[in-house]
Amino acid sequence: MTEDVAPADPERLVHDALSVQEKQRLLAYESSEQPLCRHTSARHARHGASPEVTVEEYDVAVKTALSTSSNARQEADDALALLLAVDGRASRLSASELAVLHGLPRLRALLETSRALRFEDPQAMLRFAKLARFTADRLRMRDFGRQPVADLRALAWAELANAYRVCNELGRADHAMNRSVYWCQRGSQTGLLLARVADLLSDLLCYQRRFPEGRELLALAYRVHAEMENRHRAGRVVIKLAHLTMAEGDHRKALVLMRQGFDLLDPNQEPQLVVQTLWSMVWLVAQLGRFRSARLLLWRGRILFAGIVEPHRLRWLEGTIHAGLADFSRAEAAFQQARAGFAENGQVYPAALVGLDLAALWARQGRVKAVFALAEEMIVTFRALRIAREAVAALLILKRACQNGGQILELIEITVDLLRSLERQPARPSSYSGSMPPAPSLSS
């Protein structure tokens, strides 16, 4: 006698979870017009219903269930596509609006709200990313399909990893990214999803100063967008690569990459990114010592920069240009205003870097006492915050050079390089706020 089919098997057939042998056994039952199984017959008998099910009734039930499952799967695929359609704009819903949402709409709203809070409130960004991850993990594969749910979980975990990175919780960021990769391997492995995860993972690796690995992942993301002929997204990846190259200290190559990425951007999609990229290029021109060109570019773009770049960052760049052109009085005024602006916003490292630019300016004028006083002030600040021990040691040496005579400018340059290196390291204070130039508002 043919073996009975378990009660759960018809439902598993609807969701395409049976083996080939099990499907053949069920189809054999259907073709012989037998009841699906004795278990089913007994259940109907208990409720006083006929145990017989006609082929037509069964076909209608299966088609209805399959149609419902297909619609849910398409809904999940559409939600993923919308979340991957990163164009620099992100919606933000209130708590009351989020409370009435469930399932896929709730997941999408949480992720978009998390992205929108990236610069304004990183801790809130993290809270919404955690809620999004929880929502994604509660999606049932029987409702939406295995691969769509795996894809959405991969994206939610990657966004959570990025939020942890922004909040300087690198151990948790690593764990979350590992979970994202786990779900990527079990999903559809669609190009856009892999490019997004690679993009966010490259941010984490670069934050950890693992530049070669970050470069490889950006190359993967670029290939995906280039093959899809999406120039704008490919341009965004190239700009990220330019910022990675800047972090490595190669300003000349970074400027070339920045220009290549800029040429690929669509101003209608992300006008703010276009302006930020222009700003980064002006900053790089100044860092390469081309001060007259930088001054002209800054003057031409000042109206554009005013609404995007912080005023004290603008003043810092102006001070750098004035110092390069030996206009000491204007440079000093710009550096003083920039330093005060960073300090007021609690941006310790940028304020210190501006202070060192000011110290170098004074050293060029022979104002050794002013350099000594500034170094002493910075030492007090760093010690109070318990950060940058190496920089404190360098500043102590600078103080001694001011007292006993020494290569003050060289020591200032060493301290600047040290501070920039410390600033890029993962172990930053939780109150850290980035330094010049600001990274573009990319998807991450």
What are 291-336's pLDDT values in tens digits?
999 999 999 988 888 878 889 999 999 999 999 999 999 999 999 9
C-alpha neighbours within 13 Å on the C-beta side of residue 300: 10
Residue 150 pLDDT level (bands cut at 50, 70, 90): very high
Residues 68, 64, 142: CA angle, nearest 5 degrees: 40
* Rounded percentage of the chain residues whose pLDDT exceeds 70: 70
Distance CA 292, CA 147 (A): 56
Cβ(186)–Cβ(227) below 8 Å: no
Residue 21 pLDDT level (bands cut at 50, 70, 90): low
Cβ(234)–Cβ(203) below 8 Å: no
pLDDT of residue 99: 57
What is the radius of gyration, based on Cα positions, of the chain? 30
Cβ(355)–Cβ(319) below 8 Å: no
Largest CA-CA distance found in the chain, in angstroms, rounded:
104
Distance CA 93, CA 114 (A): 10
Amino acid at 271: P
Other beta carbons within 10 angstroms of residue 146's beta carbon come to: 16
Distance CA 319, CA 358 (A): 9
Distance CA 285, CA 262 (A): 15
Residues 156-172 pLDDT 10s: 999 999 999 988 888 99
Residue 37 pLDDT level (bands cut at 50, 70, 90): very low
pLDDT of residue 120: 77
3-state SS of the chain: helix, strand, coil percent to 5? 75, 0, 25
Cβ(359)–Cβ(371) below 8 Å: yes
Closest CA to 283 of 301, 266, 264: 301
pTM of the predicted model, to two decimals?
A: 0.70
Residue 22 pLDDT level (bands cut at 50, 70, 90): low
Lowest mean pLDDT among 112-126, 166-180, 251-265: 112-126
Lowest mean pLDDT among 75-79, 228-232, 273-277: 75-79
- pLDDT above 90 (res 33): no
- pLDDT above 60 (res 439): no
Cβ neighbours of residue 80 closer than 8 Å, sequence gap 6 or more: 148, 151, 152, 155, 190, 193
pLDDT of residue 4: 45
pLDDT of residue 413: 80
Closest CA to 335 of 306, 350, 357: 357
Distance CA 272, CA 407 (A): 43
Residues 378-415 pLDDT 10s: 888 777 777 667 777 877 888 888 877 777 778 788 77
> For helices 368-385 and 408-424, what crossing angle results, to 10°?
20
Distance CA 62, CA 381 (A): 71
How far is the CA of 90 from the CAs of 111, 269, 297, 373, in angstroms?
9, 12, 31, 46
